[in-house]
């Protein structure tokens, strides 16, 4: 049973022993010791100031690209989705907070007649997650359009940082400080046409619907694409399409996706990831790099 208590000095919701399966796109995961849903940025700052700095803190958005083990999380999870959701045009830039979904960000930029954010429509997460992993699709990446960001640390202190302070590479971002999380970003986008941008978003979404298993719980791409090749091609060439462990299956529609076909637990998924890696390495000689982040403890 979930308990709800008041956080010291803060007005958000603090949930104890909260099942993470409710907050991850795979619909699996054990309980978090604490899960905090801030009432806003000022409230988040107060909460972090009151939190034991020695305990681990994890920020999550839509819980995509994330596997929480069945033993749950020791520490605190901060839920950003639907919390920090402000978007606005700020001079020549677009300002958006970390809790905004990438899909909504793409539509907002299109309506503002800004060009270059359409690819966000294909990212199944929030801006905070996209910033943290340099998410991208269809040839574009998040940090290609970032001008500057706001981060927060475990003491609740805010820092405004220029994009040049970060080293972004394929699906990875090197942070100046490892104990900071993204709160907001200013995006540098070219002036464009609303109709053209909106049509591009529709085309991207149609392509995504046709190629990805959106009807079943998944977490997006399991592995990064190796240089000059595609992880999905290598997985399929290794005979792994539709391979099942427990309730987890290599998608029949897109081999780089693992889907929960019903009753999967985190261990099923983690074992399947391991089997895919080992099989591709043995049959194709390629060591795939895992894109999915795994946190928590084994049951």
Residues identified as active-site: 171, 221, 291
Q: Using CA atoms, how far apart are residues 143 and 132, in angstroms rounded to an integer?
A: 10
Would you state the structure tokens that stand for residue 99, as one six-digit string? 């809790």
Cα–Cα separations (whole angstroms), residue 165 to 244, 245, 250: 43, 42, 38
Tell me the C-alpha distance between 223 and 284, whole Å: 15
List 3's β-bridge partners, or say none: 16
Q: Residue with structure tokens 């427990």? A: 246
Cα(115)–Cα(197) distance, rounded to whole angstroms?
6
* Alpha carbons within 13 A on the beta-carbon side of 202: 6
Three-state secondary structure call for residue 201: helix
Of the CA atoms within 13 Å of residue 1, those in its CB half-sphere come to 2
Task: Reduce the DSSP state of residue 209 to 3 states and report it.
Answer: helix
Is there a contact between 288 and 231 (Cβ–Cβ < 8 Å)?
yes
Q: How remote is the C-alpha of 185 from its chain's centroid?
A: 16
Q: What is the DSSP letter of 255?
A: T
**Three-class secondary structure of residue 28 per DSSP:** coil
Length of the chain (residues): 299
In contact, 100 and 126? CB cutoff 8 Å: yes
Closest C-alpha to 106, from 182, 220, 207, 199: 199
């Amino acid at each position: 049973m979930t308990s709800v208590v008041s956080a010291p000095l803060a007005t958000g919701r603090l949930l104890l022993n909260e099942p993470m399966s409710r907050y991850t796109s795979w619909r699996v995961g054990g309980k978090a010791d604490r899960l905090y849903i801030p009432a806003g940025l000022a409230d988040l700052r107060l909460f972090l100031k009151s939190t034991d700095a020695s305990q681990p803190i994890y920020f999550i958005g839509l819980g995509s690209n994330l596997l929480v083990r069945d033993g749950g999380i020791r520490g605190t999870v901060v839920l950003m989705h639907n919390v920090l959701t402000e978007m606005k045009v700020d001079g020549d830039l677009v300002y958006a907070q970390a809790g905004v979904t990438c899909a909504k960000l793409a539509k907002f930029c299109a309506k503002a007649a800004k060009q270059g954010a359409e690819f966000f429509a294909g990212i199944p997460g929030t801006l905070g997650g996209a910033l943290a992993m340099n998410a991208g699709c269809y040839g574009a990446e998040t940090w290609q359009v970032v001008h500057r960001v706001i981060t927060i640390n475990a003491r609740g202190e805010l820092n405004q940082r220029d994009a040049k302070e970060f080293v972004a590479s394929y699906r990875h971002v090197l942070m100046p400080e490892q104990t900071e999380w993204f709160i907001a970003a200013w995006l540098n986008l070219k002036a464009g046409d609303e109709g053209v941008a909106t049509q591009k978003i529709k085309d991207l979404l149609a392509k995504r619907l046709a190629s990805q298993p959106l009807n079943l719980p998944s977490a997006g791409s399991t592995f990064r694409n190796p240089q000059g090749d595609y992880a999905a091609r290598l997985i399929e060439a290794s005979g792994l399409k539709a391979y099942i462990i427990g309730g987890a299956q290599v998608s029949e529609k897109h081999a780089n996706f693992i889907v929960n076909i019903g009753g999967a637990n985190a261990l099923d998924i983690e074992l399947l990831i391991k089997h895919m890696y080992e099989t591709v390495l043995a049959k194709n000689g390629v060591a795939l790099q895992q894109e999915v982040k795994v946190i928590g403890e084994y049951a």
